[in-house]
Structure 1
Amino acid sequence: MDIACLIGKRLKRGDILALSGDLGSGKTCFAGGLAKGLGLSEEYRITSPTFTLINEYQGRCNLYHFDVYRLNGCKEFEELGYEEYFSANGVVAIEWAEKIESILPENIISIKFDYVDENIRKIIIKGFKGRIEEIAQDLNAEVV
């Protein structure tokens, strides 16, 4: 996903991305593009951490990739020690973030995937003032 790679190039340590959308809408594929943009080794095969809950990838800027699909709410996410990852020296991407929305910080970048057809997705990106403009600048995107 080219757009994910472009966004990954603009991400900074401490950025938290909340990825939401139906099964098969492209969240894991997007995480792979982020990894490429972050400059992570091509040796990494980015897979969904559905059963491991988190995959950690080391690079110039570490990527902490969560999948909370199987969790039964915020308490289970808290038990993972998520705050440690949120304050770590890397970028956090959370698939199915809508399941834990109530405990996410305000300074997240929210990315919603809508399935249009087999090869097309509508992607809506929202974020906090200042940071989202920095990212949109490189994408030639309009901030509304």
Structure 2
Amino acid sequence: MSGPGAFTPGQVRLGDRVPWLGRAHQVVAFQGSNVVLLAEETSTPVEVLYTAMVSAPGFAVLNDDDSPVASAPMPAVDDPPSKAQRKEAKRWHRHMKELDTGLLPGSSQARPGYEPEKRRWLSVMPASHGSWRPQAWRSVQRRWSRCG
């Protein structure tokens, strides 16, 4: 069940208590776009369209005393990337384009070691070690070597 501060708007879990048609119900199953509620007083199951339940006036996830569980704040959007982060991302993007196509953006001729018809992608990595951190390439190489 949800505890205080654990409820996120739009998120209902199995075991949560919710109001429906003036009575407290427990969420006992999800079936596609429907939710199955069990009335606490009569133990009668009710199948309801999930969107109808969460958009009903007064909808809330309830505590044991039938008071609404406090909603957790929605996560804040991170600060925009710094100028240095944008510059590094642009540099990385240009380099990945070169690895993919053999050409730096805006260039018409491949640098030695980057000709796509002569070398495989993984074999280009050692040629690029001078321009990128080795630990980053080891990470990329591990991921790509797993792909076949």
TM range, smaller chain: under 0.3
**Bigger RCO of structures 1 and 2 (CA < 8 A, at least 6 apart):** 1
TM-score calculated relative to the size of structure 2: 0.22
TM-score calculated relative to the size of structure 1: 0.23
Task: Determine which structure has the larger strand proportion and give its number.
Answer: 1
* Structure number, greater radius of gyration: 2
